[in-house]
Amino acid sequence: ESLSDGRVVQWRSAADEMVHGIYYPPVEPSAEKPPAIVTSHGGPTAQRTLAFYPDVQFFVSRGYAVLQVNYRGSTGFGREYMLKMRGEWGKVDREDLLSGTQFLVENGLADRGRMVAMGSSAGAVSVLLALVHHPGLFAAGVCSYPVTDMLALSAETHRFERHYNETLLGRLSEAEAVYRRRSALFRADEIVDPLLLFHGADDSVVPPKQSAGIAASMTQRGVPHEYHLFEG
């Protein structure tokens, strides 16, 4: 009775394509529209399923609604759906995070003025670029070990994923402009909404400086934020 059952939902993207997600209402019903957390999963070629997520249940037990966005490029919805991210990382996932937010508002499932975008690793790409392109839409962003510099990631991540960006963005020699355009670090000065950043100091996949660069920009401009670096 203290848990919320997720339900599968769909909506149309900005390109009028089907997008999938899982919606969790707050445990305690209220006459008011709830605040909402819209999440973008990592991977980015992964998915959220009807499983038990302790973080989701933490929030819904405290009055939040949660929407897990299985943006175009996620697995589990057919090969064609998964391939829609090829060359489009940082674009289709961002668009689907935004259209998911619109879906909540249009269906009366969330309070437009109290929505937070949350993501980790590749999922944080969607969050940060949404803050860049649509300032003021979200009350805040929350990012754990975010990918903020696609160029650096291609050179510095571990061997297992070193060439992953060629699939997701294109060959660097031919698509450097795309890498820069999809890197929130190069547009950090356009982020004006409050931001919460978490990173592990020993992260070998996404180096901590990817968060530190965003935090430095926020500090210089006096934008409300917190940056937590976890040693060990």
Contact 11, 72 (CB under 8 A): no
The CA-to-CA distance between both ends of the chain, in Å, stands at: 37
Sheet holding 115-120, edge to edge: 7-12, 18-24, 65-70, 36-40, 115-120, 140-144, 195-200, 225-230
Packing angle, helices 92-106 and 122-133, rounded to 10? 70
Contact 225, 196 (CB under 8 A): yes
Q: How far apart are CA 142 and CA 156, in angstroms?
A: 24
Percentage of the residues of the chain whose pLDDT score is greater than 90: 75
Mean pLDDT of 20-43: 94
Q: Is the pLDDT of residue 165 over 80?
A: no
pTM of the complete model:
0.92
pLDDT digits (tens, 9 = 90+) for 118-142: 999 999 999 999 999 999 999 999 9
Mean pLDDT of 213-223: 96
Q: How far apart are CA 16 and CA 102, in angstroms?
A: 13
What pLDDT shows up at residue 177?
85
What pLDDT shows up at residue 159?
64
Tokens of 90: 């940082």
Considering only residues 60 and 176, tell me which one the structure prediction assigns the higher pLDDT: 60
What pLDDT shows up at residue 31?
84
